[in-house]
Amino acid sequence: MKITSARLIICSPDRNFVTLKIETDEGIYGLGDATLNGRELAVASYLSEHVCPCLIGRDPSQIEDIWQYLYRGAYWRRGPVTMTAIAAVDVALWDIKGKALNTPVYNLLGGKSRDGVMVYAHANGRDIDETVDSVRKEMELGYIAVRAQSGIPGMSGTYGVPKGTKAYEPAERGLPSESLWSSERYLRAAPKLFERLRVELGEDVHLLHDVHHRLTPIEAARLGKALEPANLFWMEDPVPAELQEGFKLIREHTTTPIATGEVFNSFWDAHDLIRNQWIDYLRMTIVHGGGLTALKKAADFAAIYHVRTGCHGATDLSPVTMAAALHFGLSIHNFGVQEHMRHSALTDAVFPHEYTFSAGYMYPGDKPGLGVDIDETLAAKYPYERAYLPLARKLDGTLTDW
């Protein structure tokens, strides 16, 4: 089999997506997600200008060799643009291999290690009452793990809470918006939210929370301690993770489990975090971490250190990534949980898929390959629109981590 074409489909069915379609001389094609939120066209250009021409004529079954060719062969390593582009190629090749061998991708990754993939939903509200109601609604839908984000008294808005009545979506069309942030006010509010959630909703539901990189290590240590009575499943991204040793300080002070890595694009971003056992869950994800080939290696290394996976799964990761994540989560041994921020009905229509949700778990389906497609005619009706993630400033105007 030979690759005959590799082309991009860029569309915006409620939000932007970049999808790579690799076609072969045997009529089999594969899809890969290449979406990098707010920097979509950089990846599209990297692929169309530099990567796609090198794929034509290659044997698509040589997944490992093509991965190494694109990683080592570029000389310039790592970085979100490069690794998202490599991931798109890699995932499309796994999709092709599954279809060619007439088996779902999870079988190529070692077969089922479990029956279903536990997912967590998003809940949010402007205040504690609204957030409690929102978590309850997700539980009524069948979720057994829910992430809770709430507005902070005295602050006009924060990460994870919608500005209007629509479902929360961080990317905004137009130029980047700016919001204000106060770690002091947040640190007073967050423990009260989780205390209430446990009183109202009991001990059984897994509760998760995303700090979204906003604290210093000592502040995060204090938050982790304050949250211990609420027995969280995890506290996510307590600090920006460029400084891996920052997690040592957090770890020394709290037993609240820690998850990080959604912005990682290389295993090396997590190397110290894993081998020192400073984290419990690795959030590195297929689309930004170099594909299934790279994630499998990272997960196998993490397994040795009791670190489990908790792959990023926000709406900017397309249904192609969601499908890949479910095949991955079903097969690896050290799976922890998978994020499930539901796509809009329009996004789902553009990407028809086999995966399903039932009673807290998701299932990739048994169709050969990934079990996800793209309706190119529908996609063409929703052209790309520039969009950005917001920025955050401290109360005195200093730019801080969003």
Interface with ligand KDG by CB under 6 A: which residues? 37, 170, 210, 212, 262, 312, 314, 316, 339, 341, 389
Binding of residue 210 to Mg ion (CB under 5 A): yes
* Residue 327 annotated to the active site: no
Q: Which residue in the list 46, 143, 159, 382 is annotated as catalytic?
A: 159
Pull the structure tokens for residue 143.
């979720």
| Nearest to ligand KDG of 60, 170 (CB atom) | 170
| Nearest to ligand KDG of 37, 309 (CB atom) | 37
d(CA 247, CA 252): 9
Q: How far is the CB of 159 from ligand KDG (least distance, A)?
A: 7
The string over 213-226, giving b where at least 16 C-beta atoms fall within 10 Å of a residue's C-beta and e elsewhere, is: bbbebebbbbbbeb
Q: Which does 280 bind (CB under 5 to 8 A by kind): ligand KDG, Mg ion, none?
A: none
Q: Which does 265 bind (CB under 5 to 8 A by kind): Mg ion, ligand KDG, none?
A: none
Q: How far is the CB of 140 from ligand KDG (least distance, A)?
A: 22
DSSP E strands in 279-320: the ranges are 281-282, 308-309
Q: Which residue in the list 122, 209, 212, 288 is annotated as catalytic?
A: 212
Of the ranges 32-40, 61-69, 108-116, 260-268, which one interacts with Mg ion (CB under 5 A)?
260-268
Which DSSP letter does residue 287 get?
T
Q: How far is the CB of 313 from ligand KDG (least distance, A)?
A: 7
Q: How far is the CB of 120 from Mg ion (least distance, A)?
A: 11
Q: Which does 339 bind (CB under 5 to 8 A by kind): ligand KDG, Mg ion, none?
A: ligand KDG
User: The dihedral of CA 196, 312, 182, 234: what is its sign?
Assistant: positive
| Nearest to ligand KDG of 303, 389 (CB atom) | 389
- Give the angle 22-24-27 at the CA atoms, nearest 5°: 110
Binding of residue 339 to Mg ion (CB under 5 A): no
Q: How far is the CB of 222 from Mg ion (least distance, A)?
A: 20
| Nearest to ligand KDG of 24, 318 (CB atom) | 318
d(CA 96, CA 105): 9
> Please, are residues 189 and 152 in contact by the beta-carbon 8 Å criterion?
yes
Residue 338 makes CB contacts below 8 A (sequence gap 6+) with 117, 118, 119, 120, 309, 310, 311, 313, 325, 326, 329, 362
What's the alpha-carbon Rg for the chain, to the nearest Å? 20
Q: Which does 37 bind (CB under 5 to 8 A by kind): ligand KDG, Mg ion, none?
A: ligand KDG
Mark 226-255 with x for binding to Mg ion (rule: CB under 5 A) and - for no binding: ------------------------------
Pull the structure tokens for residue 303.
């397994």
Residue type, 146: V
| Nearest to Mg ion of 60, 160 (CB atom) | 160
3-state secondary structure of 391: strand
Binding of residue 40 to Mg ion (CB under 5 A): no
Q: How far is the CB of 389 from ligand KDG (least distance, A)?
A: 6
Q: How far is the CB of 147 from Mg ion (least distance, A)?
A: 9
Pull the structure tokens for residue 147.
């992430």
Q: Which does 319 bind (CB under 5 to 8 A by kind): Mg ion, ligand KDG, none?
A: none
3-state secondary structure of 215: coil
d(CA 172, CA 282): 27
* Residue 209 annotated to the active site: no
| Nearest to ligand KDG of 368, 390 (CB atom) | 390
| Nearest to ligand KDG of 93, 317 (CB atom) | 317
Angle (deg, nearest 10), helices 128-140 and 183-201 = 50
* Euclidean distance between the first and the last CA atom of the chain, given in angstroms as a whole number: 46
Residue 291 makes CB contacts below 8 A (sequence gap 6+) with 32, 67, 86, 87, 88, 89, 90, 91, 94
Interface positions with Mg ion (CB under 5 A): 210, 262
Catalytic amino acids?
159, 212
